[in-house]
């Protein structure tokens, strides 16, 4: 049995959809099984034959974490430690989702799994501590770091851009931060592929869609495709700015590009380009974007 933790989030919803569609035996929880409450986790798992735990739960409010670090560390560090303890007790394999924010973003090329973490924000520090906690407790884990995640089941950069295109004549976007966007269904498919592989190649892996782009160029491509699909029907000026022009409470890695070579070669997981994934996302969402954001004004 697979225990999916955090099934109501952007990624968890996609993972559950795949598990359900394949008829796999699983149980899914969200806030009713608080990962910071070890006793509650034990009670939930007590009589269940759990062989896999997939943790998609996390504290993801990057800027707010600077103001409430204790909460961020409780969820992102203490929570994974509790889950690892439980996985060890059950002798279950564990999949845990982490982030590019464990790096400082100063590397020129793609980050490999062996590159040393050096987080520059509370959020990044809390996620890195979660990785450490898992590794110190249990060895049967797959930690998947991802970046720039977006999908149809939660707030994200693409949806924000579509909303801004509907509301404003000018949209300013940072152009000196680079990364590889990740479409949530593609990451969910990678999670499922690891489960189905039955592999014991435990460790840290990176996954995102393929390609390197800045936030500004990503926004420009969103606008171009949205115009082609009729999701946006008016002219909007996109203005490229620098990180210094867009102050945030938390520092962001200037380079969030992740190498996918390890996960591709180990599990034979295909990695499509971010352009292909974005086109699919906007096509699948075309029936509702106009209703939600009134994009025809």
Catalytic residues: 123
**Alpha carbon of 10 to those of 32, 118, 286, 287: distances in Å?**
17, 26, 18, 19
Q: Identify the CA nearest to 35 among candidates 15, 16, 55, 7.
A: 55
Alpha carbons 146 and 103: distance in angstroms, whole number: 12
**Alpha carbon of 82 to those of 109, 126, 127, 255: distances in Å?**
34, 14, 14, 31
Tell me the Cα Rg of the chain: 19
| Chain-centroid distance, C-alpha 140 | 21
**Alpha carbon of 4 to those of 16, 191, 217, 242: distances in Å?**
7, 11, 35, 39
């Amino acid at each position: 049995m697979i225990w999916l933790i955090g099934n109501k989030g952007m990624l968890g919803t996609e993972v559950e959809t795949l598990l359900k569609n394949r008829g796999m035996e699983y149980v899914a929880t969200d806030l009713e099984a608080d990962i910071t409450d070890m006793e509650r986790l034990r009670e939930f798992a007590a009589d269940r034959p759990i062989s896999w735990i997939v943790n998609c739960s996390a504290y993801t409010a990057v800027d707010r974490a600077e103001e409430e670090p204790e909460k961020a560390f409780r969820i992102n560090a203490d929570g994974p430690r509790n889950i690892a303890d439980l996985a060890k007790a059950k002798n279950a394999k564990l999949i845990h989702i982490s982030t590019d924010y464990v790096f400082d973003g100063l590397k020129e090329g793609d980050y490999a799994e062996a590159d040393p973490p050096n987080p520059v924000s509370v959020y990044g520090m809390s996620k890195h501590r979660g990785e450490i906690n898992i590794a110190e407790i249990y060895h049967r884990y797959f930690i998947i770091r991802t970046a720039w995640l977006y999908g149809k089941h939660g707030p994200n950069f693409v949806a924000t851009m579509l909303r801004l295109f509907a509301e404003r004549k000018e949209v300013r976007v940072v152009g000196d931060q680079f990364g590889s966007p990740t479409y949530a269904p593609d990451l969910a498919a990678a999670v499922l592929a690891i489960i189905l592989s039955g592999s014991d190649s435990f460790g840290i892996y990176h996954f995102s869609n393929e390609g390197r782009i800045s936030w500004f160029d990503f926004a420009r491509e969103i606008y171009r495709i949205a115009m082609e699909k009729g999701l946006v029907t008016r002219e909007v000026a996109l203005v490229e700015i620098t990180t210094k022009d867009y102050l945030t409470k938390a520092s962001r890695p200037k380079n969030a590009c992740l190498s996918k070579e390890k996960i591709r070669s180990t599990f034979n997981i295909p990695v499509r380009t971010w352009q292909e994934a974005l086109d699919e996302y906007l096509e699948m969402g075309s029936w509702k974007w106009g209703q939600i954001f009134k994009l025809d004004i």
